[in-house]
């Protein structure tokens, strides 16, 4: 079976990564390397000025005190290369980062620790996917059920050998609507869109009379253009966005056409 490394930015105990692990466990050897604490919105941070520690939580599940990109590196550069490791001499066939709690659409990909972990693996030549469930944070009543909408989709892709379709120096950024699987209207190959935020800075005063600030703001919609990942989610469709990491190999349009053809072949059509 394939060796699949799972990571995320929500933390090793987050429901999304554990539901995905359960879904993939019967078709692959799954190794989890994820942050010990939440590391959302940390981007492509690597720990270079302090120690990185790895803790074995249970069989094939490891917690790391670093950032999501550190977790990918720990799997690639340590667990699978250390002669004392039980994985030594084996190959990582895929890295999947997620299932993230919340969307990673538009320019979110540059802030996202989830996407960064997949990107770090892609830099090392490993087929990689970032997957997010576009959670409605005001309605989390059926959150585990909705995570299965994303995990079942990823399982279908893995079983259909999606790893063979992802070109070098690229990844797939997948976003899944926050709803039951039967309510999803289809799948669309998309481009990275642009979201709008108010980007408010709130000034407050601490108990010593000193100023401090919260960076916040309100989501205010997205730029309206064809084939955007933002529009796909608005249309209740799964967004599959090929992300090209450098000027290498196939063009963005060629990648989109390749992924589109693959999905048309392996996914059932909605009547």
What span, in angstroms and rounded, lies between the C-alpha atoms of 117 and 112?
Answer: 9
Task: Give me the domains of the chain, ranges plus CATH numbers.
Answer: 2-193+224-266 (3.40.1210.10)
* Average pLDDT in the chain: 93
Q: What is the pLDDT of residues 183-213, one digit of tens each?
A: 999 999 999 999 988 888 999 999 999 999 9
**Is 204 strand, coil or helix?**
strand
Q: Is 160 annotated among the ligand-binding residues?
A: no
CA atoms within 13 A on the CB side of 209: 0
Phi and psi torsions of 226, nearest 5°: -65, 145
What span, in angstroms and rounded, lies between the C-alpha atoms of 260 and 174?
Answer: 13
What span, in angstroms and rounded, lies between the C-alpha atoms of 162 and 256?
Answer: 13
Closest CA to 106 of 147, 127, 82, 134: 134
Continuous H helices in 39-112:
68-74, 108-111
Name the band, by pLDDT with cuts 50, 70 and 90, for residue 253. confident
Given a cut of 80, is residue 64 above it in pLDDT?
Answer: yes
pTM: 0.93
**Is 58 strand, coil or helix?**
strand
What span, in angstroms and rounded, lies between the C-alpha atoms of 67 and 38?
Answer: 9
Q: Is 10 annotated among the ligand-binding residues?
A: yes
Neighbours of 81 (CB within 10 A): 12
Continuous H helices in the chain:
15-24, 68-74, 108-111, 113-123, 143-159, 229-234, 252-266
* Chain centroid offset of residue 167 CA: 17
Q: What is the pLDDT of residues 224-241, one digit of tens each?
A: 888 999 999 999 999 999
Share of the chain above pLDDT 90, in %: 82
Sheet with strand 170-177: strands edge to edge = 54-58, 61-64, 28-35, 2-7, 94-101, 128-134, 170-177, 238-244, 187-189
What span, in angstroms and rounded, lies between the C-alpha atoms of 71 and 114?
Answer: 11
Q: Is 100 annotated among the ligand-binding residues?
A: yes
Name the band, by pLDDT with cuts 50, 70 and 90, for residue 270. low
Given a cut of 60, is residue 117 above it in pLDDT?
Answer: yes
> Counting beta carbons within 10 angstroms of the beta carbon of residue 3, is it exposed (0 to 12), middle (13 to 18) or buried (19 or more)?
middle
Contact at 8 Å (CB) between 35 and 73? no
pLDDT value at residue 140: 65
């Amino acid at each position: 079976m394939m060796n699949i490394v799972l990571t995320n930015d929500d933390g090793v105990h987050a429901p999304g990564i554990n539901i995905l692990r359960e879904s993939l466990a019967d078709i692959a050897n799954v190794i989890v390397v994820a942050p010990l604490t939440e590391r959302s919105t940390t981007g492509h941070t690597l720990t270079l000025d302090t120690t990185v520690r790895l803790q074995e939580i249970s069989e094939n599940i490891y917690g790391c005190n670093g950032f999501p990109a550190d977790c990918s590196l720990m799997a690639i550069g340590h667990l699978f290369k250390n002669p004392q490791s039980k994985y030594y001499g084996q190959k990582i066939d895929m890295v999947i980062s997620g299932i993230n709690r919340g969307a990673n659409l538009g320019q979110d990909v540059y802030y996202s620790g989830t996407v960064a972990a997949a990107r770090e693996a892609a830099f090392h030549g490993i087929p990689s996917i970032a997957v997010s469930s576009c959670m409605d944070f005001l309605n989390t009543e059926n959150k585990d059920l909705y995570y299965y909408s994303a995990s079942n989709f990823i399982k279908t892709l893995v079983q259909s050998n999606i790893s063979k379709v992802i070109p070098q120096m690229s990844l797939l950024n997948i976003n899944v609507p926050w709803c039951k699987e039967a309510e999803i209207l289809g799948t669309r190959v998309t481009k990275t869109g642009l979201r709008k935020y108010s980007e408010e800075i709130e000034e407050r005063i601490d108990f010593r009379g000193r100023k401090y600030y919260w960076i916040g703001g309100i989501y205010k919609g997205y730029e309206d253009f064809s084939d955007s990942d933002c529009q796909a989610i608005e249309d209740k469709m799964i967004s599959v966005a090929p992300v090209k990491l450098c000027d290498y190999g196939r063009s963005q349009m060629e990648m989109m056409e390749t992924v589109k053809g693959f999905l048309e072949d392996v996914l059932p059509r909605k009547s």
